[in-house]
Structure 1
Protein backbone atom coordinates (compact mmCIF):
# COMPACT_ATOMS: atom_id res chain seq x y z
CA UNK A 1 0.00 0.00 0.00
CA UNK A 2 1.41 3.36 -1.01
CA UNK A 3 1.45 6.31 1.37
CA UNK A 4 -1.23 7.98 -0.79
CA UNK A 5 -3.59 5.11 0.09
CA UNK A 6 -2.93 5.69 3.79
CA UNK A 7 -3.74 9.35 3.20
CA UNK A 8 -6.92 8.41 1.33
CA UNK A 9 -8.04 6.16 4.21
CA UNK A 10 -7.50 8.90 6.81
CA UNK A 11 -9.29 11.54 4.71
CA UNK A 12 -12.25 9.25 3.95
CA UNK A 13 -12.58 8.28 7.61
CA UNK A 14 -12.42 11.93 8.70
CA UNK A 15 -15.02 12.85 6.09
CA UNK A 16 -17.36 10.11 7.35
CA UNK A 17 -17.12 11.69 10.82
CA UNK A 18 -17.71 15.20 9.47
CA UNK A 19 -14.18 16.34 10.34
CA UNK A 20 -12.13 18.67 8.15
CA UNK A 21 -8.34 18.51 8.31
CA UNK A 22 -8.10 21.42 10.74
CA UNK A 23 -10.54 19.83 13.19
CA UNK A 24 -8.90 16.42 12.81
CA UNK A 25 -5.50 17.93 13.61
CA UNK A 26 -6.95 19.75 16.63
CA UNK A 27 -8.57 16.60 18.04
CA UNK A 28 -5.39 14.61 17.41
CA UNK A 29 -3.30 17.26 19.18
CA UNK A 30 -0.99 17.88 16.22
CA UNK A 31 -0.47 20.85 13.91
CA UNK A 32 -2.10 21.06 10.48
CA UNK A 33 1.39 21.08 8.97
CA UNK A 34 2.30 17.96 10.92
CA UNK A 35 -0.87 16.20 9.79
CA UNK A 36 -0.28 17.04 6.13
CA UNK A 37 3.36 15.95 6.42
CA UNK A 38 2.17 12.60 7.76
CA UNK A 39 -0.43 12.21 5.02
CA UNK A 40 1.84 13.12 2.10
CA UNK A 41 4.80 11.12 3.38
CA UNK A 42 7.22 14.04 3.74
CA UNK A 43 7.81 13.25 7.40
CA UNK A 44 10.58 10.68 7.76
CA UNK A 45 9.01 8.69 10.57
CA UNK A 46 5.60 8.85 12.21
CA UNK A 47 5.72 8.72 16.00
CA UNK A 48 3.65 5.95 17.57
CA UNK A 49 2.09 8.50 19.93
CA UNK A 50 0.98 10.56 16.91
CA UNK A 51 -0.69 7.57 15.26
CA UNK A 52 -2.41 6.70 18.54
CA UNK A 53 -3.87 10.19 19.00
CA UNK A 54 -4.83 10.31 15.31
CA UNK A 55 -6.60 6.95 15.66
CA UNK A 56 -8.49 8.25 18.69
CA UNK A 57 -9.66 11.30 16.74
CA UNK A 58 -10.73 9.04 13.86
CA UNK A 59 -12.50 6.70 16.33
CA UNK A 60 -10.64 3.62 15.11
CA UNK A 61 -8.31 1.17 16.83
CA UNK A 62 -4.64 2.27 16.48
CA UNK A 63 -3.80 -1.10 14.92
CA UNK A 64 -5.92 -0.13 11.90
CA UNK A 65 -3.69 2.89 11.20
CA UNK A 66 -0.53 0.89 11.90
CA UNK A 67 -1.68 -1.76 9.46
CA UNK A 68 -2.61 0.79 6.78
CA UNK A 69 0.71 2.63 7.12
CA UNK A 70 2.99 -0.41 7.44
CA UNK A 71 1.32 -2.54 4.80
CA UNK A 72 3.51 -0.81 2.22
CA UNK A 73 6.50 -2.45 3.96
CA UNK A 74 4.91 -5.90 3.58
CA UNK A 75 4.19 -5.93 7.31
CA UNK A 76 2.83 -9.32 8.43
CA UNK A 77 -0.90 -9.56 8.82
CA UNK A 78 -2.02 -8.99 12.40
CA UNK A 79 -3.69 -11.76 14.32
CA UNK A 80 -4.91 -12.05 17.88
CA UNK A 81 -2.88 -14.68 19.74
CA UNK A 82 -4.53 -18.11 19.64
CA UNK A 83 -7.43 -16.87 17.51
CA UNK A 84 -9.51 -19.71 16.08
CA UNK A 85 -9.16 -18.28 12.57
CA UNK A 86 -5.84 -17.19 11.08
CA UNK A 87 -5.51 -13.41 10.75
CA UNK A 88 -8.65 -12.84 12.83
CA UNK A 89 -8.45 -10.06 15.41
CA UNK A 90 -10.75 -7.94 17.54
CA UNK A 91 -9.90 -4.56 19.06
CA UNK A 92 -11.66 -2.89 21.97
CA UNK A 93 -12.41 0.77 21.17
CA UNK A 94 -14.31 2.12 24.18
CA UNK A 95 -17.02 1.72 26.78
CA UNK A 96 -19.67 3.94 25.21
CA UNK A 97 -21.71 3.74 28.42
CA UNK A 98 -21.08 2.41 31.96
CA UNK A 99 -17.24 2.46 32.11
CA UNK A 100 -15.58 0.22 34.69
CA UNK A 101 -16.45 0.95 38.33
CA UNK A 102 -19.54 2.98 37.47
CA UNK A 103 -21.84 3.31 40.49
CA UNK A 104 -25.40 2.03 40.05
CA UNK A 105 -28.22 1.56 42.58
CA UNK A 106 -29.66 -1.71 43.87
CA UNK A 107 -32.29 -3.00 41.46
CA UNK A 108 -31.38 -0.41 38.82
CA UNK A 109 -31.87 -1.27 35.15
CA UNK A 110 -29.10 0.11 32.95
CA UNK A 111 -27.70 -0.39 29.44
CA UNK A 112 -24.06 -1.16 28.79
CA UNK A 113 -22.68 -0.34 25.31
CA UNK A 114 -19.31 -1.54 24.04
CA UNK A 115 -17.62 -0.47 20.81
CA UNK A 116 -15.29 -2.98 19.18
CA UNK A 117 -13.53 -3.10 15.81
CA UNK A 118 -12.58 -5.85 13.39
CA UNK A 119 -8.83 -5.18 13.19
CA UNK A 120 -7.98 -8.46 11.48
CA UNK A 121 -8.43 -9.75 7.93
CA UNK A 122 -11.43 -12.04 8.44
CA UNK A 123 -15.06 -11.08 7.82
CA UNK A 124 -17.20 -11.48 10.93
CA UNK A 125 -20.29 -13.36 9.76
CA UNK A 126 -22.91 -14.90 12.03
CA UNK A 127 -21.00 -14.06 15.19
CA UNK A 128 -22.41 -13.52 18.66
CA UNK A 129 -21.36 -12.11 22.01
CA UNK A 130 -22.15 -14.66 24.70
CA UNK A 131 -22.35 -14.23 28.48
CA UNK A 132 -19.76 -16.36 30.27
CA UNK A 133 -21.12 -15.79 33.80
CA UNK A 134 -21.83 -18.89 35.84
CA UNK A 135 -24.97 -19.12 37.93
CA UNK A 136 -24.14 -19.28 41.61
CA UNK A 137 -25.29 -22.31 43.56
CA UNK A 138 -27.62 -21.42 46.42
CA UNK A 139 -26.96 -23.61 49.47
CA UNK A 140 -29.73 -25.33 51.40
CA UNK A 141 -30.05 -23.69 54.82
CA UNK A 142 -32.25 -24.44 57.85
CA UNK A 143 -35.57 -22.59 58.03
CA UNK A 144 -34.52 -20.57 61.08
CA UNK A 145 -31.57 -19.04 59.15
CA UNK A 146 -32.23 -16.28 56.64
CA UNK A 147 -31.70 -17.65 53.17
CA UNK A 148 -29.24 -15.85 50.84
CA UNK A 149 -30.51 -13.83 47.92
CA UNK A 150 -31.96 -16.14 45.25
CA UNK A 151 -30.48 -13.99 42.51
CA UNK A 152 -26.80 -13.13 42.69
CA UNK A 153 -24.70 -11.11 40.30
CA UNK A 154 -25.57 -8.83 37.42
CA UNK A 155 -28.64 -10.01 35.53
CA UNK A 156 -28.52 -9.55 31.72
CA UNK A 157 -31.92 -9.42 30.05
CA UNK A 158 -30.55 -11.96 27.57
CA UNK A 159 -27.36 -14.00 27.42
CA UNK A 160 -26.56 -13.67 23.71
CA UNK A 161 -26.03 -10.57 21.54
CA UNK A 162 -26.10 -10.93 17.76
CA UNK A 163 -23.07 -9.18 16.23
CA UNK A 164 -23.85 -7.52 12.89
CA UNK A 165 -21.78 -8.76 9.96
CA UNK A 166 -18.57 -6.73 10.23
CA UNK A 167 -15.86 -6.36 7.58
CA UNK A 168 -12.17 -5.76 8.42
CA UNK A 169 -11.68 -2.18 9.54
CA UNK A 170 -15.33 -1.68 10.51
CA UNK A 171 -16.46 -1.04 14.07
CA UNK A 172 -19.70 -2.07 15.75
CA UNK A 173 -21.66 -1.08 18.86
CA UNK A 174 -22.96 -3.88 21.09
CA UNK A 175 -25.46 -3.18 23.87
CA UNK A 176 -26.91 -5.18 26.74
CA UNK A 177 -29.47 -4.27 29.40
CA UNK A 178 -28.58 -5.36 32.94
CA UNK A 179 -30.44 -5.40 36.25
CA UNK A 180 -28.38 -4.72 39.36
CA UNK A 181 -28.92 -7.07 42.34
CA UNK A 182 -30.82 -5.99 45.44
CA UNK A 183 -27.76 -5.79 47.71
CA UNK A 184 -24.65 -3.53 47.71
CA UNK A 185 -21.55 -5.10 46.14
CA UNK A 186 -19.03 -4.88 43.30
CA UNK A 187 -19.74 -7.11 40.31
CA UNK A 188 -18.46 -8.04 36.88
CA UNK A 189 -20.23 -9.71 33.96
CA UNK A 190 -17.97 -11.38 31.39
CA UNK A 191 -18.66 -11.86 27.64
CA UNK A 192 -16.85 -13.52 24.72
CA UNK A 193 -17.29 -13.68 20.95
CA UNK A 194 -18.39 -16.92 19.28
CA UNK A 195 -18.65 -17.90 15.62
CA UNK A 196 -21.59 -19.37 13.70
CA UNK A 197 -20.69 -22.80 15.14
CA UNK A 198 -20.99 -21.46 18.72
CA UNK A 199 -17.23 -21.86 19.25
CA UNK A 200 -15.21 -19.14 21.01
CA UNK A 201 -13.23 -17.08 18.50
CA UNK A 202 -10.50 -15.82 20.87
CA UNK A 203 -10.20 -18.37 23.71
CA UNK A 204 -7.27 -16.72 25.49
CA UNK A 205 -8.21 -13.07 24.90
CA UNK A 206 -9.67 -10.90 27.66
CA UNK A 207 -13.16 -10.58 26.19
CA UNK A 208 -15.62 -7.82 27.10
CA UNK A 209 -16.92 -7.08 30.58
CA UNK A 210 -19.26 -4.88 32.55
CA UNK A 211 -17.96 -3.97 36.02
CA UNK A 212 -20.06 -1.87 38.40
CA UNK A 213 -20.35 -0.86 42.04
CA UNK A 214 -23.83 -1.38 43.45
CA UNK A 215 -24.97 0.87 46.29
CA UNK A 216 -28.22 1.21 48.23
CA UNK A 217 -30.52 4.18 47.71
Structure 2
Protein backbone atom coordinates (compact mmCIF):
# COMPACT_ATOMS: atom_id res chain seq x y z
CA UNK A 1 0.00 0.00 0.00
CA UNK A 2 1.50 3.32 -1.03
CA UNK A 3 2.23 5.77 1.78
CA UNK A 4 2.05 9.56 1.74
CA UNK A 5 5.85 9.64 1.54
CA UNK A 6 5.68 7.18 -1.35
CA UNK A 7 3.24 9.48 -3.16
CA UNK A 8 5.57 12.44 -2.50
CA UNK A 9 8.59 10.51 -3.79
CA UNK A 10 6.80 9.18 -6.88
CA UNK A 11 5.66 12.72 -7.75
CA UNK A 12 9.24 13.99 -7.52
CA UNK A 13 10.47 11.14 -9.74
CA UNK A 14 7.77 11.90 -12.32
CA UNK A 15 8.72 15.59 -12.26
CA UNK A 16 12.24 14.55 -13.26
CA UNK A 17 10.76 12.53 -16.17
CA UNK A 18 12.80 9.37 -15.58
CA UNK A 19 11.83 5.74 -15.06
CA UNK A 20 11.98 3.95 -11.73
CA UNK A 21 14.83 1.82 -13.08
CA UNK A 22 16.85 4.86 -14.14
CA UNK A 23 16.17 6.55 -10.81
CA UNK A 24 17.27 3.45 -8.90
CA UNK A 25 20.48 3.37 -10.95
CA UNK A 26 21.24 7.02 -10.16
CA UNK A 27 20.63 6.53 -6.43
CA UNK A 28 22.58 3.27 -6.32
CA UNK A 29 19.65 1.17 -5.10
CA UNK A 30 17.98 -1.87 -6.57
CA UNK A 31 14.67 -1.39 -8.36
CA UNK A 32 13.03 -3.46 -5.61
CA UNK A 33 14.48 -1.20 -2.89
CA UNK A 34 13.00 1.87 -4.59
CA UNK A 35 9.61 0.16 -4.88
CA UNK A 36 9.83 -0.73 -1.17
CA UNK A 37 10.29 2.96 -0.41
CA UNK A 38 7.36 3.87 -2.63
CA UNK A 39 4.96 1.39 -1.05
CA UNK A 40 6.14 1.80 2.56
CA UNK A 41 7.75 -1.63 2.96
CA UNK A 42 10.91 -0.10 4.48
CA UNK A 43 10.63 0.34 8.25
CA UNK A 44 13.22 3.13 8.45
CA UNK A 45 15.34 4.51 5.64
CA UNK A 46 18.97 5.39 6.32
CA UNK A 47 19.90 9.06 6.31
CA UNK A 48 22.61 8.42 3.73
CA UNK A 49 20.00 6.86 1.44
CA UNK A 50 17.74 9.90 1.80
CA UNK A 51 20.65 12.20 0.97
CA UNK A 52 21.42 10.18 -2.19
CA UNK A 53 17.73 10.33 -3.20
CA UNK A 54 17.63 14.11 -2.70
CA UNK A 55 20.78 14.52 -4.77
CA UNK A 56 19.35 12.37 -7.58
CA UNK A 57 16.13 14.41 -7.55
CA UNK A 58 18.04 17.73 -7.48
CA UNK A 59 16.15 18.90 -4.40
CA UNK A 60 17.39 20.24 -1.06
CA UNK A 61 18.07 17.34 1.37
CA UNK A 62 16.01 19.12 4.03
CA UNK A 63 12.93 19.03 1.78
CA UNK A 64 13.15 15.26 1.44
CA UNK A 65 14.10 14.56 5.06
CA UNK A 66 11.35 16.76 6.47
CA UNK A 67 8.83 15.08 4.14
CA UNK A 68 10.07 11.66 5.20
CA UNK A 69 9.61 12.33 8.92
CA UNK A 70 6.35 14.17 8.33
CA UNK A 71 4.77 11.34 6.34
CA UNK A 72 6.47 8.19 7.69
CA UNK A 73 4.25 6.02 9.88
CA UNK A 74 6.72 5.99 12.77
CA UNK A 75 7.12 9.77 12.93
CA UNK A 76 5.98 11.18 16.29
CA UNK A 77 4.97 14.79 16.67
CA UNK A 78 2.61 15.14 19.60
CA UNK A 79 1.38 13.10 22.53
CA UNK A 80 2.97 10.39 24.69
CA UNK A 81 1.16 7.74 22.68
CA UNK A 82 3.90 8.21 20.05
CA UNK A 83 6.64 5.79 21.07
CA UNK A 84 8.85 3.05 19.72
CA UNK A 85 10.22 0.15 21.72
CA UNK A 86 13.95 -0.43 22.08
CA UNK A 87 15.73 -3.78 21.93
CA UNK A 88 15.61 -3.89 25.76
CA UNK A 89 12.45 -5.49 27.11
CA UNK A 90 10.27 -2.92 28.84
CA UNK A 91 12.29 0.08 27.63
CA UNK A 92 10.13 2.68 25.90
CA UNK A 93 10.08 6.40 25.14
CA UNK A 94 7.31 8.89 24.47
CA UNK A 95 7.59 12.25 22.74
CA UNK A 96 5.37 14.71 24.59
CA UNK A 97 5.86 18.03 22.79
CA UNK A 98 8.16 20.72 21.43
CA UNK A 99 8.37 23.20 24.30
CA UNK A 100 10.05 25.84 22.14
CA UNK A 101 10.69 26.28 18.41
CA UNK A 102 8.47 23.58 16.89
CA UNK A 103 9.69 22.34 13.51
CA UNK A 104 9.13 25.01 10.89
CA UNK A 105 9.57 28.03 13.18
CA UNK A 106 11.48 30.98 11.75
CA UNK A 107 14.69 32.55 13.07
CA UNK A 108 16.93 35.23 11.61
CA UNK A 109 20.46 34.52 10.35
CA UNK A 110 23.17 34.09 13.04
CA UNK A 111 20.52 33.88 15.78
CA UNK A 112 21.35 31.83 18.88
CA UNK A 113 18.28 30.16 20.37
CA UNK A 114 17.36 27.36 22.79
CA UNK A 115 15.34 24.41 21.50
CA UNK A 116 13.45 22.45 24.16
CA UNK A 117 11.78 19.03 23.87
CA UNK A 118 9.70 17.24 26.50
CA UNK A 119 9.99 13.45 26.49
CA UNK A 120 8.70 10.75 28.84
CA UNK A 121 9.92 7.38 30.05
CA UNK A 122 6.85 5.35 29.07
CA UNK A 123 8.44 1.97 29.81
CA UNK A 124 9.32 0.00 32.94
CA UNK A 125 13.12 0.44 32.74
CA UNK A 126 14.78 3.12 34.89
CA UNK A 127 16.89 5.32 32.60
CA UNK A 128 20.40 5.63 34.01
CA UNK A 129 23.60 6.90 32.41
CA UNK A 130 21.87 7.98 29.23
CA UNK A 131 22.76 10.82 26.88
CA UNK A 132 21.49 12.58 23.81
CA UNK A 133 23.91 12.77 20.88
CA UNK A 134 23.85 14.72 17.64
CA UNK A 135 23.84 12.57 14.50
CA UNK A 136 24.19 15.41 12.00
CA UNK A 137 27.47 13.95 10.75
CA UNK A 138 25.27 11.59 8.74
CA UNK A 139 23.88 14.54 6.80
CA UNK A 140 25.14 17.01 4.27
CA UNK A 141 23.39 20.33 3.74
CA UNK A 142 23.58 22.22 0.46
CA UNK A 143 24.32 25.95 0.69
CA UNK A 144 22.27 28.16 -1.68
CA UNK A 145 25.39 28.76 -3.80
CA UNK A 146 25.73 25.00 -4.38
CA UNK A 147 28.56 24.28 -1.92
CA UNK A 148 28.16 21.51 0.64
CA UNK A 149 28.33 22.21 4.36
CA UNK A 150 28.19 19.57 7.05
CA UNK A 151 26.20 21.38 9.71
CA UNK A 152 23.48 23.91 9.08
CA UNK A 153 22.74 24.37 12.79
CA UNK A 154 25.60 24.65 15.26
CA UNK A 155 25.54 23.58 18.92
CA UNK A 156 28.31 24.09 21.51
CA UNK A 157 28.54 20.33 22.00
CA UNK A 158 27.17 17.18 20.39
CA UNK A 159 26.73 15.12 23.57
CA UNK A 160 24.34 15.97 26.41
CA UNK A 161 24.05 13.74 29.52
CA UNK A 162 20.45 13.14 30.58
CA UNK A 163 19.26 12.92 34.20
CA UNK A 164 18.31 9.53 35.60
CA UNK A 165 14.60 9.11 34.92
CA UNK A 166 12.22 6.54 36.48
CA UNK A 167 9.27 5.01 34.62
CA UNK A 168 6.58 7.63 33.91
CA UNK A 169 9.09 10.41 34.57
CA UNK A 170 9.49 13.29 32.12
CA UNK A 171 12.60 15.17 30.96
CA UNK A 172 12.75 18.63 29.44
CA UNK A 173 15.82 18.74 27.17
CA UNK A 174 17.28 22.14 26.27
CA UNK A 175 19.95 22.53 23.59
CA UNK A 176 21.41 25.79 22.32
CA UNK A 177 21.73 26.27 18.56
CA UNK A 178 23.09 29.00 16.33
CA UNK A 179 21.51 29.49 12.91
CA UNK A 180 23.75 29.80 9.82
CA UNK A 181 24.56 33.15 8.24
CA UNK A 182 22.50 32.51 5.10
CA UNK A 183 18.75 32.06 4.45
CA UNK A 184 17.84 28.37 4.35
CA UNK A 185 15.87 25.58 5.96
CA UNK A 186 18.11 23.60 8.31
CA UNK A 187 17.64 20.65 10.62
CA UNK A 188 19.52 18.93 13.42
CA UNK A 189 18.88 15.33 14.56
CA UNK A 190 19.45 13.83 18.02
CA UNK A 191 19.15 10.32 19.44
CA UNK A 192 19.43 8.74 22.88
CA UNK A 193 22.32 6.40 23.73
CA UNK A 194 23.10 4.29 26.81
CA UNK A 195 26.25 4.38 28.94
CA UNK A 196 28.01 2.05 26.44
CA UNK A 197 27.22 4.35 23.51
CA UNK A 198 24.55 2.08 21.99
CA UNK A 199 21.37 3.57 20.54
CA UNK A 200 18.55 3.04 23.03
CA UNK A 201 15.82 3.24 20.39
CA UNK A 202 17.44 2.45 17.03
CA UNK A 203 14.13 2.34 15.15
CA UNK A 204 12.79 5.55 16.66
CA UNK A 205 12.64 8.77 14.66
CA UNK A 206 15.20 11.20 16.13
CA UNK A 207 14.36 14.37 17.99
CA UNK A 208 14.63 17.18 15.47
CA UNK A 209 15.15 20.90 15.43
CA UNK A 210 14.16 22.27 12.03
CA UNK A 211 13.97 26.02 11.47
CA UNK A 212 13.58 28.36 8.53
CA UNK A 213 16.37 30.90 8.53
CA UNK A 214 15.65 34.33 7.05
CA UNK A 215 17.59 37.52 6.46
CA UNK A 216 16.28 40.81 7.83
Q: TM-score, normalised by structure 1?
A: 0.57
Aligned residue for 2:137, secondary structure, equals coil
**Which 4+ stretches in 1 moved above 6 angstroms?**
135-138
Q: Deviations over 1:146-173 (max 9, x none)?
A: 9958674100111011110000000011
Question: What's the Cα RMSD here?
Answer: 2.7
- Corresponding residue of 2:163: 164
Q: 2:89 aligns with which of 86, 91, 94?
A: 86
Could you tell me how far apart the structure 1 residues matched to 2:99 and 2:117 are? 6
* Contact 1:151–1:181, Cα closer than 8 Å, also in 2: no
Residues 200, 151 of structure 1: alpha-carbon distance in 2 compared, 3 angstrom cutoff: closer
What 5-or-longer segments of structure 1 have no aligned partner?
1-59, 64-78, 139-145
* Contact 2:80–2:96, Cα closer than 8 Å, also in 1: yes
Could you tell me how far apart the structure 2 residues matched to 1:86 and 1:208 are? 22
Q: Does 1:188 align with 2:192?
A: no
* Contact 2:115–2:177, Cα closer than 8 Å, also in 1: yes
Q: 2:119 aligns with which of 101, 116, 121?
A: 116
- Corresponding residue of 2:80: 61
Could you tell me how far apart the structure 1 residues matched to 2:150 and 2:98 are? 26
What 5-or-longer segments of structure 2 have no aligned partner?
1-78
Q: Deviations over 1:33-84 (max 9, x none)?
A: xxxxxxxxxxxxxxxxxxxxxxxxxxx8358xxxxxxxxxxxxxxx834x13
* Contact 1:80–1:88, Cα closer than 8 Å, also in 2: no
Could you tell me how far apart the structure 1 residues matched to 2:183 and 2:151 are? 11
Alpha-carbon offset, residue 126 of structure 1: 0.4
- Corresponding residue of 1:9: none
Residues 208, 187 of structure 1: alpha-carbon distance in 2 compared, 3 angstrom cutoff: same
- Corresponding residue of 1:126: 129
- Corresponding residue of 2:175: 176
Q: TM-score, normalised by structure 2?
A: 0.57
| Larger Cα-atom Rg | 1
Q: Deviations over 1:148-203 (max 9, x none)?
A: 58674100111011110000000011110000001100011000000010110011
Aligned residue for 2:103, secondary structure, equals coil
